[in-house]
A = this chain, B = another copy of it.
Amino acid sequence: MGTLLSIGDFSRMTFLSVKALRHYHEVGLLPPAEIDADTGYRRYEVAQVPTAQAIRRLRELGMPVDEVRVVIDAPDVDARNAAISAHLRRMEGELDRTRATVKSLRMLLDESAPPAIVVDYRAAGPTETLAMRAAIPHADVFDWLAEAFVTLRLATEETGAARAGADAALFSGELLEEEFGEIVAVIPVKAGGRPAAPVELLRLPHVEYAVAVHAGSVDDIDRTYAALGTVVAERAIGVQGPIREDYLVGTSETADEAQHLTEISWPVFQTTPAA
């Protein structure tokens, strides 16, 4: 088994701090080869060095310790590479979001005035839809919706239903206020057969809405939410119930985000605007 190294020597050789090494021992990520029964001193083998070097690099890439463990314990090269690639893809996704946020921040700071909006008052429903629902964290909304609409479009074809409106989503209050809550994706339909789970036939009730259209990337949609919310708050006409988004022009229509159109519907108790 060769030379055993003290934690200090091992630290200098791997660039992992002594505290980090003790932590990795505690959580079982990198247990020392041997522990002196008398003194409790940790001893590491030279053969553990490459593992430690890989751990340091993976942690530097922000990979959570639990995933590092998966990589380290991977039974073969393919499994290991798959875990690493998955993490690198996630990092790419974050980078995309960062770029979008920078753009959105610039726009917010450059334009001094909030967007001018036209508020429309409208009664909707009851409406027949094909729907999927889930309770998810706010961060997963994008990915979940993208997948849901793929499934719903397939179900629309399979049931022979005729589409009667754009893709839409209902956001519960908790999802917006607490980072976790219910979301429902729907496609309004006419006629058609019974869908297979997880898709369901859902009849949306009659609701009265204040409606505004957001033009451009959904990364900036909070600005239109704020403008619409301001109008609702000033007139004190807000009621409970999920907020609805209708994706009139979305990613499936055009990749050019500047052309996207999203209708935001905020539940209110009167459909006639106050003077």
Contact = CB atoms under 8 A, between A and B. Distances in A.
A108 B54 contact: yes
A101 B57 contact: yes
Interface stretch (A11-19, A122-130, A144-152, A199-207): A11-19
Copies in the complex: 2
A225 interface: yes
A46 interface: yes
A3 interface: yes
A226 B98 contact: no
A98 to B, nearest CB: 6
Given A5-B229, A12-B243, A46-B233, 8 more contacts: A3-B230, A3-B233, A3-B234, A15-B225, A17-B177, A19-B179, A50-B226, A60-B98
A69 interface: no
A272 interface: no
A176 interface: yes
A50 B176 CA distance: 18
Interface of A: 2-3, 5, 8-9, 11-15, 17-19, 46, 49-50, 53-54, 56-58, 60-61, 80-81, 84, 88, 91, 95, 97-98, 101-102, 104-105, 108-109, 114, 138, 173, 176-179, 222-223, 225-226, 229-230, 233-234, 238, 243
B233 A9 contact: yes
Given A108-B50, A229-B9, A230-B13, A178 B56 contact: no
The A interface is mostly helix, strand or loop, or mixed, namely: helix
14 contacts: A3-B230, A8-B173, A12-B177, A13-B225, A13-B229, A17-B178, A18-B177, A53-B222, A53-B226, A57-B108, A58-B105, A60-B98, A61-B102, A84-B105
Given A104-B57, A105-B57, A225-B13, A178 B233 contact: no
Contacts of A17: 138, 177-179
A102 B114 contact: no
Contacts of A108: 50, 53-54, 57
Given A8-B177, A101-B60, A177-B8, A226 B54 contact: no
**9 A-B pairs with the lowest CB-CB distances in the bound complex, closest first:** A13-B229, A57-B105, A13-B226, A11-B177, A49-B226, A15-B222, A3-B234, A18-B177, A60-B101
A98 B11 contact: no
Contacts of A238: 9
A13 B60 CA distance: 36
Contacts of A54: 105, 108-109
Contacts of A105: 54, 57-58, 61, 84
